[in-house]
Amino acid sequence: MSSELTEIKTFIQATNPLDLLPEPILEKLIKQVQICYVRCDETLPPQGITDPSLYVIRKGTLSVIKNNQELIEKLAEGDICSVFCSQDAVSNTLVKADEDTLIYAISFSSLLEICVEHPHVGAFFTKPAAERLSDQVSKINEQEVVSSTLMNRSIGDFFSSPAVTIEETTSLQSAAMIMTERNFSSLLIIRDKALVGIVTDKDFRCRGLAKGLTLSAPVSDIMTADVQMIDVNASAYEALIKMNSRGIHHLPVSRKGQLAGMVTITDLMRQESLSSVNVSSMIAKAKDVTELSHISDLLPKLQVSMAKLGTSASSVGKTMSAIADAFTCKLIELAKAHLGDEPVPFVWVSAGSQARQEQMVSSDQDNALIIDDSLQEQHRPWFTQLAQFVCDGLAQCGYPYCPGDVMASNQKWRQTQAVWHKYFTQWIDKPDPKALMHCSIFFDMRSVYGKESLLEDVRQKMLKKTQGNTLFLAHLSANAIKLRPPLGFFRDFVLTDNGKHKNTLDLKHNGIAPVVDLARIYALSEGIEEVNTLKRLTQAMGTSSLTQGSGKSLFSAFEFLTMSKVKHQAKQLLEGEETDCFISPNALSKLDREHLKDAFKVIKEMQSVRQTTYG
Tell me which residues touch other proteins (CB under 8 A). 1-8, 11, 30-37, 39, 46-49, 58-60, 100, 102, 105
Task: For residue 56, give the H/E element and its range.
Answer: strand 53-59
Nearer to other proteins, 102 or 329 (CB): 102
332 to 148, 277, 446: CA distances (angstroms): 34, 20, 16
Phi-psi domain of 362 (left: phi exceeds 0; alpha: psi -120 through 50; beta: other): left
Least distance CB 77 / other proteins (angstroms): 8
Nearer to other proteins, 37 or 184 (CB): 37
Least distance CB 63 / other proteins (angstroms): 18
- Give the three-state DSSP class for 373: coil
Among 514, 499, 425, 437, which residue's Cα sits nearest to residue 464?
425
Residue 539 and residue 519: Cα distance in Å, rounded? 10
| DSSP of 227-291 | ---EETTSBHHHHHHHHHHHT-SEEEEEETTEEEEEEEHHHHHHHHHHHHHHHHHHHHH--SHHH
Nearer to other proteins, 32 or 82 (CB): 32
Cβ neighbours of residue 267 under 8 Å, at least 6 residues apart? 158, 159, 160
Beta bridge partner(s), residue 105: 34, 55
Least distance CB 130 / other proteins (angstroms): 34
Least distance CB 254 / other proteins (angstroms): 53
DSSP class of residue 15 equals: S
Contact 404, 445 (CB under 8 A): no
Least distance CB 46 / other proteins (angstroms): 7
Residue 193 and residue 425: Cα distance in Å, rounded? 80
| DSSP of 148-185 | SGGGG-BGGGT-B-SPPEEETT-BHHHHHHHHHHHT-S
Nearer to other proteins, 95 or 150 (CB): 95
Nearer to other proteins, 35 or 418 (CB): 35
Residue 403 preceded by cis peptide, ω within 30: no
Nearer to other proteins, 47 or 214 (CB): 47
Nearer to other proteins, 31 or 422 (CB): 31
Distance from the Cα of residue 265 to its chain's centroid: 27
Contact 208, 172 (CB under 8 A): yes
Nearer to other proteins, 30 or 599 (CB): 30
9 to 75, 134, 167: CA distances (angstroms): 20, 30, 67
Nearer to other proteins, 60 or 300 (CB): 60
Least distance CB 114 / other proteins (angstroms): 12
Least distance CB 581 / other proteins (angstroms): 36
Least distance CB 119 / other proteins (angstroms): 23
Least distance CB 49 / other proteins (angstroms): 6
Least distance CB 33 / other proteins (angstroms): 5
Q: For 57, how many CA atoms within 13 A lie in the half-sphere containing its CB?
A: 25
Sheet order of strands, 70-75 included:
70-75, 62-66, 93-97
Least distance CB 7 / other proteins (angstroms): 5
Nearer to other proteins, 4 or 373 (CB): 4
Distance from the Cα of residue 120 to its chain's centroid: 25
DSSP class of residue 298 equals: T
Nearer to other proteins, 77 or 457 (CB): 77
